[in-house]
Structure formats: structure tokens, C-alpha cells
Amino acid sequence: MAGQASFEGQITFLYTRDLEATARFYEDVLGLPLVRDQGDCRIYRTGRDGYLGFCRREEAPEQPAGIILTLLTPDVDGWANRLRERGAAIERPPTANPHYRIYHCFLRDPNGYLIEIQRFDEPLI
């Protein structure tokens, strides 16, 4: 199996000080399905085999830096419009980035994590 990824999926876990506000955002604004509620942690499905988890921790950063949660979709404009309608503030509107050959927009969740909604101009695989 050298050189081949053999994992069945992926979960990224991040800390939050306010799990309730985080849950409202990811469930009501982004509309991600909650697949596991562990009390102090919640896991959301972002795609077929991708997941995002948030755990309540007092040591969560007050202003997270260096993390970008990128959600892939062919419909960046549609998502930006839906998110605005649901009360989300789009930090950077949809725009082309010719250097990386992507089309994307940015917003922040209640924790301050930067979220990028992105489309690749060329398929990854």
C-alpha cells in the first residue's frame, strides 16, 4: 500500500468555548447534518466521507488563527446567497483566484474560524 491512502473518511476536530452557538451556526446557517452528539462534542457531516467536529473546551482559542475550514461546492454563488439570507456575514464575496484556479468566498463562524466556500476550476482527481 505504499503511496496509497487507505482511510475511509476524515474528521477534523476543533475546540469551541460556546458549543450551543457553534451548533446553531453549523446546523441552522450552514445546514450541516449532525451525525453524533456526544454531549460536549458534536460531529457534522460535510460530505460523503468528510466530517467536522466541535468540542467544548475552556482552552479554546479566543481568536483562532492559521485555520481555514474549506467546504467544496460547484455552487459558490448559491451558497453565498443562502448564507446571507440566513444571516451570515460574508467577509469576502465570491471571487476568482487565478493563481490557484479556484472560485471562493469567506466568512467566519461564531468562534472566529475562517470558512472558505470554494470551487476548483479543475477537478482534484
User: Given this model, what pLDDT does residue 125 score?
Assistant: 76
**Residues in CB range of 122: below 8 A, 6 or more apart:** 101
pTM, full prediction:
0.91
User: Given this model, what pLDDT does residue 6 score?
Assistant: 78
Domain coordinates in residue numbering, the chain: 10-120
Q: What is the pLDDT of residues 3-54, one digit of tens each?
A: 676 788 999 999 999 999 999 999 999 999 999 999 999 999 999 999 999 9
Q: Which of 3.10.180.10, 3.40.190.10, 3.40.50.300, 3.40.50.11540 would CATH assign to domain 10-120?
A: 3.10.180.10
Q: Decide if pLDDT at 74 tops 70.
A: yes
Dist. CA 82–CA 120, nearest whole Å: 20
**Which residues does residue 107 pair with via DSSP β-bridges, in sequence order?**
90, 115
Q: What is the pLDDT of residues 78-92, one digit of tens each?
A: 999 999 999 999 999
